[in-house]
Amino acid sequence: MLFKKSFTEQTINAVQIGNGTVAFQGVTLNVHCFVLDGVLIDTGSKSLGKEFTPFFKQQEIDQVVITHYHEDHTGCAAFLQIEQNLSVYMSDVMLDYCTTKPNYPLYRKLFWGKRSPFQAKAIGKTFSSRNATWDVIETPGHSIDHLAFLNRATGQLFSGDLYIQKKTKVALREESIPTIMESLRKVLTYDFEDVFCSHAGYLKQGRLALQNKLDYLVDLQENVIKLYEDGLSARQISTTLFTRKYPIILFSAGEWDSLHIITSIIQEHIKNTLSVK
């Protein structure tokens, strides 16, 4: 199978950015890594190791921090730990999982490669770099261990997969839209402007972008709940609100689907309704 790969580098506001892309049969996926003040945020995928390695080697990296355990963010962690003798830090929630060979669907292995085991350390609530203290912000929803990192000195937020895009059209089966909304509200209480997203890259008006995403999800949640209370099923609501069938739905055999957005909202609504009674 012919997978097309590409890699670009740029520097924005002192942040060194590497962006790797994998494309196959109409599906294009990308992932960014960022370096600031000796800190590498995320490690890219194993499948893009040859593309990311020169980028890593030309940086002055003191430590590696991981936003979450997914293989497109941890794929080169073992290489950095073994070959460059770097310490890796992440949430304690998935530490044990990362020490073993992961089990995830074939399409993800084809796109992102087979992530090698690595030994990470629990990151804590804050950490220090050469010239700054960083806040570690728990932002679950996309994954149970998801973190965002805020450099207090520069006011730059590294948001992992919290944003991705303004209008969420498909979601992973494990994602919770209501939890993502709470995480967005949480980060918006911090003082920042620049945002660096692991897939969208640099968000010029970062705070506004996160607020716009939250506003979109609030409206979406209201629409889903109204249709549910009108008697529509989750699948009927999904086809009503999301008329397009995105290639990733078929390619992932439904692990990514618009339906997961609807079900996570309905499940939270039912739970909240029962708790009131």
Position 25 pLDDT exceeds 90: no
Task: Provide CB contacts within 8 A for 12, sequence distance 6+.
Answer: 202
The pTM assigned to this predicted structure is: 0.95
Q: In the prediction, which pLDDT does 277 show?
A: 63
Q: 48: which DSSP letter?
A: G
Domains, the chain, in order of start with CATH, read: 4-276 (3.60.15.10)
Sign of the CA dihedral with 173 first, then 22, 140, and 242 last: negative
Check if the beta carbon of residue 203 is closer than 8 Å to that of residue 209.
yes
CA end-to-end span of the chain, whole Å?
55
Residue owning tokens 């950015």? 17
What tens digit of pLDDT does each residue of 144-202 get? 999 999 999 999 999 999 999 999 999 999 999 999 999 999 999 999 999 999 999 99
164-168 long-range contacts, Cβ below 8 Å, gap at least 24? 164/197, 164/198, 164/199, 164/200, 165/199, 165/200, 165/213, 166/209, 166/212, 166/213, 166/216, 167/216, 168/213, 168/216, 168/217, 168/220, 168/261
- 3-class SS at 210? helix
Give the Cα separation of 211 and 90 in Å (integer). Answer: 26
Residue 81 structure tokens: 């730990």
Q: Using one digit for the tens of pLDDT, what is the confidence trace for 224-248?
A: 999 999 999 999 999 999 999 888 8
Q: What is residue 194's three-state secondary structure?
A: strand
Task: Report yes or no: 260 and 224 within 8 Å, Cβ to Cβ.
Answer: no
